[in-house]
Structure 1
């Protein structure tokens, strides 16, 4: 199964929140608005700043804001900011480690096509497009103390505030 890690999932949630807010906000405010714990927000923001997706400002009115328009931030950018290059196999990464089957592998060259298609799909979806669609009413933010993730589907008897 191809799966992004939990920090990348948090990064997407934080970036969506930042795109919708459209203003400089402190880490603790972003944490309160998303349900992501403050230490996790700080860790993810450092990676997003390094990747050039977020800008940080210091001072009493400081915090974090998108470094460029949401229309120019692709899902691929978000993933690569935390996980590095998108590659389904080491063959696609041009890894230094060569496979002992490389000379007669039936997939040689084919994984590149698959990886290119996946990357193209992830590049074709922007943060602005994601932010324009509200989260389904059946999903809500988890409390920051819940280590299970940012979003969950509530049980039928669970009636909490829905995300907008």
Structure 2
């Protein structure tokens, strides 16, 4: 499984916006400059993230964008779902999914469990955590 570039860029954009949380506001153009992402892409993302209730747009002389809720209350799952829609690894997890092999499938009852585990992992990572340097995963540590 691989996230789309747009979902990846949404996480990057929200991480940059989180660096300005606490009353500060930033424009989509400033976010694009800060992240190195194309301005039209950031503008598209800002629209989706605002519609999902993750960003708030304030108009006026001192307007701009800000997080709609605290960074600790916004997860990677929230961001991915704002751009991609509900996380569904297979068609049978999706409410509208159909499968030609459904009659004989022994995996169908297991996919929701797997899907929930993946979504749970993404939901356990907040924007606050993305602002810190992660610990090195055990499989990447050098053996002494």
TM superposition score normalised by structure 2: 0.86
Q: State the partner residue of 2:46.
A: 45
Uncovered stretches (5+) of structure 2, i.e. residues with no partner: 135-144
Deviation, structure 1 residue 50: 0.4
Deviation, structure 1 residue 74: 0.9
Q: State the partner residue of 2:17.
A: 18
| Structural RMSD (CA) | 1.3
Uncovered stretches (5+) of structure 1, i.e. residues with no partner: 135-164
Give distance in 2, aligned partners of 1:38 and 1:101. Answer: 44
Is the partner of 2:31 in helix, strand or coil? helix
Give distance in 2, aligned partners of 1:63 and 1:6. Answer: 25
Larger deviation, residues 79-88 vs 14-23: 14-23
Give distance in 2, aligned partners of 1:53 and 1:133. Answer: 23
Provide Cα deviations, 1:64-121, integer angstroms capped at 9, x if missing partner. Answer: 11000000001100100000000100100122x5323212112121111110110111
Q: State the partner residue of 1:103.
A: 103
Is the partner of 1:21 in helix, strand or coil? coil
TM superposition score normalised by structure 1: 0.76
Deviation, structure 1 residue 59: 1.9
Indicate the structure with greater helix content: 2
The 5 Å alignment of 1:111-122 reads 111-122=111-122
Deviation, structure 1 residue 61: 2.0
